[in-house]
Amino acid sequence: MAGIIIVCLQFLFFFNLSVQGYELQQVLILSRHNIRAPLLNNLNNLTTYSFPRWNIKPGYLTEKGAKLERYIGHYITDWLVKKGLLPNGCPELSSIHVYANTRQRTRETAKAFVNGAFPNCNITVYSKNSDEMDPLFNPIVRNRSSILKETIVNEMQQRINKLKLHNAYVKLNEITNLKHSNKCLVENFCDFAKERDDVVYEVGQEPNVIGPLYLSNALVDVFLMSFYEGMSLNDVAWGKIRTPKEWKLYTDIVRENLNVRFNGTALSKEVARPLLMYINDILKSESAPKLTLLVGHDANINSVMAAIGFKSYVLPDQFELTPLGGKLVFQRWYDRNLNRNLLKVDYVYPTFEQLRNGERLSQENPPHWVHMELKKCTPVHEFFCDWNDFIRDFENILKM
């Protein structure tokens, strides 16, 4: 209950901010795609049970995911209009920039957002015409330095050494019936808790791990997407995940997978560098669009946040730290009283239940807002930092 009250207070503060003499002048949103089909469909060897069938390709955005993105697009635009950043009706085309990664789920998420936010306004979504990942959004290792490799591998290994997933692994053994699966009988992989993770580092590829973390993350992804898509609870993890405590246990695997693979200090700056440079160019430009929407993946949000240096955070009523359809919202506000620009960053996201229930978002039923704090921030007012100091620190990060 306390978490709900805090989020509601932040939401009310945010919508009434204009009374303090602050004007919203620019917004950049880094978004994760919405509900998709699971990424892997070849996990049958990990269990004796059958997985639910999906009628779309692995990784594709679902119809429900598109619908929910239209809802949040409409909600965000309603907020921007109330803040005076955008007009009622169709905005000038030059004031909106929407850029999505090449994956179907990101392209279609961006289109759905635009359809909800600016219906019949001829706002286009830019996305490279390629089947390959857009280099801007591709969280891969590019630098061939052996010193950097050693640093990143050590960062990843240290995080692996600190994993506390024993209880989750033991329960996952039980609900999959792993000891009777082909993975156990044929490959002798019979206990998630007893297997080891090995770091995979290759230039041109995402940093990764091979072992129980990779496999368990893929399983939990199936459970989560089935739950969000609204499948019968009997078909979600074969009816064996029912309580928030159980969801918390298994989603810890997802959080740790992202933590190991994208949250290291050197690692995050390496894999996010193209996206960081792009964001920096937009935020410091005097002629930037009023609204920029970048639609990518949880890896993008994790690595960007780690590189910039956000403090640890909690998202009430969510088990994931980068929820589906969630948005990291950078805002430039102008303080009329003191003639200065200010930074505010919020995470705007649908709750666990809003995703499951497919709820329409509105001021009466808003997504959650959580203020995000930077480790380096010159505090100006509650929730705000000095804009110029932020841009200076951002550019210093890119020099490292």
If you compute the radius of gyration of the chain from its CA atoms, what whole number of angstroms results?
Answer: 21
Residue 367 contacts residue 72 (beta carbons within 8 Å): yes
User: Is 197 in the active site?
Assistant: no
83: tokens are 């803040």
Q: Tell me how far apart the alpha carbons of residues 373 and 274 are, in angstroms, rounded to a whole number.
A: 23
φ and ψ at 348, to 5 degrees? -110, 125
**Residue ranges with strand state E in 57-124:** 96-100
Q: By C-alpha distance, which of 274, 160, 277 is closest to 207?
A: 160
- CA 314, 320, 322 angle in degrees (round to 5)? 85
Q: Which of 33, 74, 297, 368 is catalytic?
A: 33
**Which neighbouring-strand residues pair with 200?**
208
- DSSP string computed for 220-262: HHHHHHHHHHT--TTTSGGGT--SHHHHHHHHHHHHHHHHHHH
283: tokens are 């935020």
User: Is 33 in the active site?
Assistant: yes
In this structure, the dihedral spanned by the alpha carbons of residues 232, 237, 238 and 241, taken in order and rounded to 10 degrees, is -80
248: tokens are 């918390």
- CA 282, 323, 257 angle in degrees (round to 5)? 100
Q: Which of 197, 221, 252, 298 is catalytic?
A: 298
Q: Which residues are annotated as catalytic? A: 33, 298
